[in-house]
Amino acid sequence: MRLRVHEIRLTDHDVWRSAREVIPEQRGVLVELTAGGRSGFGEASAFMTDRYNSSLDALHTALRLAAGTLRELPADDPEGAWSELAPLLADSPFALAALDVAAHDLAARLAGVPLWQRLGAAEPGPLHSSYSIGLDEPAVMVRKLLERPGWPAYKVKLAGPGDLHILEALREHTDAPFFVDGNCGWEPAATATALDAMAELGVTLLEQPFPRESWAAARALKEISPIPVYADESITGPQDLEACAEAFHGVNLKLMKAGGITPVLRMLGAARAAGLGTMLGCMPESSAGVSATAHLGPLVDHLDADSIALLAVDTGVGVLLDDEGGITLPAAPGTGFEPLFRGPAFTIRPTPDGQVGWDGAGLSAHRDGTALASVRLRPRPLPGRVPSDTVRQLDGPDGPGAEAAGPEELVALVRGAITSAVAEGADTVWLRTGHTGVRQACRAAGFRPLDDTPGRSGHGDIPGDDTLTDDGDPSSLMVWKANRSA
Q: Look over the chain and give the mean of its residue pLDDT values, rounded to a whole number.
A: 89
Residue 228 has pLDDT above 80, yes or no: yes
360-387 average pLDDT score? 87
Q: pTM of this prediction?
A: 0.91
Q: Residue 456: what are its φ and ψ, rounded to 5°?
A: -75, 145
Per this entry, what is the length of the chain?
486
Q: Give CA–CA dist 74/162, Å, rounded.
A: 54
* Predicted pLDDT at 17: 66
Q: Give CA–CA dist 278/249, Å, rounded.
A: 9
Cα torsion 107, 112, 115, 121: sign: negative
pLDDT in tens, 389-439: 999 999 988 776 677 788 899 999 999 999 999 999 999 999 988 778 888
Q: Give me the DSSP letters along 156-210.
A: EE-SSGGGHHHHHHHHTT--S-EEEE-TT---HHHHHHHHHHHHHTTEEEEE--S
- Specify the CATH architecture of the domain 2-118: 2-Layer Sandwich (3.30)
Non-local CB neighbours of 287 within 8 Å, separated by 6+ positions: 308, 314, 315, 316, 317, 318, 319, 337
Q: Is 68 left (phi over 0), alpha (psi -120 to 50) or beta?
A: alpha
User: Which range in 9-13, 119-123, 170-174, 456-460 is most confidently predicted, on average pLDDT?
Assistant: 170-174
Residue 50 has pLDDT above 60, yes or no: yes
- Specify the CATH architecture of the domain 351-484: 3-Layer(aba) Sandwich (3.40)
Residue 466 has pLDDT above 50, yes or no: no
- By CB atoms closer than 10 A (0-12, 13-18, 19+), residue 248 is buried
Q: Residue 339: what are its φ and ψ, rounded to 5°?
A: -75, 150
Domain boundaries in the chain?
2-118, 127-333, 351-484
Residue 195 has pLDDT above 90, yes or no: yes
Residue 18 has pLDDT above 70, yes or no: no
Q: Whose CA is closest to 45, among 33, 31, 61, 28?
A: 28
CATH of 127-333, one of 3.40.640.10, 3.90.79.10, 3.20.20.120, 1.20.120.330: 3.20.20.120
Least confident interval from 90-94, 398-402, 444-448, 450-454: 450-454
Cα dihedral value 207, 283, 151, 199, nearest 10:
10
* Predicted pLDDT at 63: 98
Residue 115 has pLDDT above 70, yes or no: yes
* Triad 369, 372, 378: Cα angle to 5°: 115
131-150 average pLDDT score? 94
Confidence band of 353 (pLDDT split at 50, 70, 90): low
Confidence band of 219 (pLDDT split at 50, 70, 90): very high
* CB of 95 closer than 8 Å to CB of 59: yes
Continuous segment of H or E residues that includes residue 407: helix 407-423
Query: Quick one: what percent of the chain has pLDDT higher than 70?
Result: 90
pLDDT in tens, 296-349: 999 999 999 999 998 999 999 999 999 999 999 999 999 999 999 999 999 999
Q: Give me the DSSP letters along 15-75.
A: -EE-SS-EES-EEEEEEEEEETTEEEEEEEE--SHHHHT-SHHHHHHHHHHHHHHHHTS-T
Residue 454 has pLDDT above 60, yes or no: no
Residue 486 has pLDDT above 50, yes or no: no
Residue 19 has pLDDT above 80, yes or no: no
Residue 472 has pLDDT above 60, yes or no: no
Q: Give CA–CA dist 85/83, Å, rounded.
A: 6
